[in-house]
Amino acid sequence: MNKKYYITTPIYYPSANFHIGHCYTTIIADSLARYKRLDGYEVLFQTGTDEHGEKIENKAKEAGITPKMYVDEVVSNAIDLWKSLNISYDKFIRTTDKLHEQTVSKIFTKLYEQDDIYKGEYKGLYCTPCESFWTPSQAKDNLCPDCGRELKEVSEEAYFLRLSKYQDRLLEYINSHPDFIEPISRKNEMINNFIKPGLEDLCVSRTSFKWGIPVSFDQNHVIYVWIDALSNYITSLGYLTNNDEEFQKFWPADLHLVGKEIVRFHTIIWPIILMALDLPLPHQVFGHGWLIVNGKKLSKSLGNYKDPREYINKYGVDAIRYFCLREVPFGNDGNFSEESLILRTNADLANVLGNLVNRTIGMAEKYFDGIITNTKVKEDIDEKLIDLAISTKQKVDKNMSELHIADALDNIFEIFRQSNKYIDETTPWALAKDPEKNDRLATVIYNLIESIRFGTVLLQAFLPETSAKIFAQINTDACSFNTLDKFGYYKENTKLGKKEVLFARIEEE
Ligand SMILES: [Zn+2]
């Protein structure tokens, strides 16, 4: 059977100021996608940008250019950032793509024709920066519950999506699909704070700006962000077109990875749109926490903004990836600081992994001119290392399926830590002094190289650049997950590649 995996990040508001928090979500999605590919799945990993709305129209006006010119420029910035982080997305959708615009228009019309969308009058409170409407009961003191800014009162003719009609069905669905919303704290929040008090119909069109997809049968209106943005997950697959093979193959999505601030849209509005379209719901929406700096959200206005490329240039892409994946218990908020990045890089990447590879290759060069032979002089002490290497994939699998990515990485690093311990226990430098122990020494070195290979095969999903460097240094092409079922895929009589420091210890300034 062909195994498929469809994973998405949110489509981001195109900004010139993407910060480390954006990178966090995308690096996690990338590692999940890479892991599934290595595990034999056909993967579709999608990210993109959400490019319509009043805010962008205004920014373009300020800059004296068209909205399309404005978004083209900021989108190229996003694409450049993902490239510098080795993000392996398969599709990058822009909501200004013609196909997307056409399909969203069809979806809106279809929902209107079947009376899931109706025309009414909107009176209420609106937050322009967040592009969110709020009811007076949601907005205390006339302030936006999301950003705390002042709301403005608006009144206009608008189209509405009947959320209320579907609320019982949605609650029933969430209760009968325990994995649909994770973590469970967010699920409870959605049920108790939003669904149970009763859903109000949602305003899904606007007349106060033009930069959006027009309602096909009422050109004064543009389709508001929810239907436009959320539909990206199916428009990109050819939904409602003659060429919908990908849609048939990949929908429903396996995982929508989202920040906690947009869980509500992905677990209430989006499922109801899908129910109205008579489509299956995604298997899971996971709302992760934020990567914050010294307890604060990152933003230019708070003055804690730094372009992630500055960190990448300074510390290397895999130090950044490793920090994001390893430091934050998934689902919770994590704290980012340069000090903790340095600590993490030194402790794990330099002292454990870098040191292991460097020491092992150094000994192989010194004692055997860099040629790895396996003379099979086994001792009991080897078994612990070999058993650990062979049993790790299963542990990593389990943690990855539960999105416990930090734990999965810890499983992999256990091989590296154990290998360092194995060096201390077998004392190769002492063996080297006794010519009769030469064959035992060769076996010890082989076991170390093979253990490094085992860990690196798994590490590829997380740190692709570092893994490629290690494979080159140990000179092996046994890199697939199929080579993890037994110890000994590393070929005897291999000549090692050139030794190179993977991670130098960073001295704090
Ligand atoms: Zn707001």
**102-122 per-position pLDDT tens digit:** 999 999 999 999 999 999 998
Residue span of the structural domain in which 402 resides = 338-495
**Angle, CA of 194, 197 and 201, to the nearest 5°:** 70
Q: How many CA atoms lie within 13 A of 78 on its CB side?
A: 21
**pLDDT on residue 368:** 97
Q: pLDDT, tens digit, for every residue of 325-378? A: 998 877 788 888 889 999 999 999 999 999 999 999 999 999 999 999 988 899
Is the pLDDT at 247 greater than 80? The verdict is yes
Contact criterion met (CB below 8 Å) for 406 and 326 = yes
In a domain, 314, yes or no: no
Average pLDDT, the chain: 93
In a domain, 213, yes or no: no
In a domain, 316, yes or no: no
Is the pLDDT at 16 greater than 80? The verdict is no
Using CA atoms of 264, 169, 162, 112 in order, give the dihedral in degrees to the nearest 10: 110
Report the separation in Å between the CA atom of 502 and the middle of ligand 1, taken as the mean of its atom positions: 44
**pLDDT on residue 10:** 93
| Better-scored residue on pLDDT, 312 or 136 | 312
In a domain, 504, yes or no: no
Report the separation in Å between the CA atom of 149 and the middle of ligand 1, taken as the mean of its atom positions: 6
How far separated are the first and last CA of the chain, in Å rounded? 54
Contact criterion met (CB below 8 Å) for 206 and 224 = yes
**Distances from the Cα of 408 to the Cαs of 386, 396, 402, in angstroms?**
19, 5, 10
> Structure pTM?
0.93
Tokens found for residue 449: 């190289």
* Nearest C-alpha neighbor of 284 from the set 429, 166, 179, 392: 179
Torsions phi, psi for 201 (to 5 deg): -60, 150
In a domain, 397, yes or no: yes
Report the separation in Å between the CA atom of 299 and the middle of ligand 1, taken as the mean of its atom positions: 14
Q: How far apart are CA 35 and CA 39, in angstroms?
A: 6
Tokens found for residue 430: 């002492």
Report the separation in Å between the CA atom of 126 and the middle of ligand 1, taken as the mean of its atom positions: 8
Query: What's the structural domain count of the chain?
Result: 1
Report the separation in Å between the CA atom of 195 and the middle of ligand 1, taken as the mean of its atom positions: 21
Report the separation in Å between the CA atom of 328 and the middle of ligand 1, taken as the mean of its atom positions: 26
* Residue 388's CATH number: 1.10.730.10
User: Measured on CA atoms in the order 109, 116, 172, 184, is the torsion positive or negative?
Assistant: positive
Report the separation in Å between the CA atom of 151 and the middle of ligand 1, taken as the mean of its atom positions: 8
**pLDDT on residue 353:** 98
In a domain, 464, yes or no: yes
Report the separation in Å between the CA atom of 131 and the middle of ligand 1, taken as the mean of its atom positions: 7
In a domain, 14, yes or no: no
User: Measured on CA atoms in the order 395, 398, 400, 405, is the torsion positive or negative?
Assistant: negative
Report the separation in Å between the CA atom of 161 and the middle of ligand 1, taken as the mean of its atom positions: 21
Percentage of the chain beyond pLDDT 90 is 80
In a domain, 117, yes or no: no
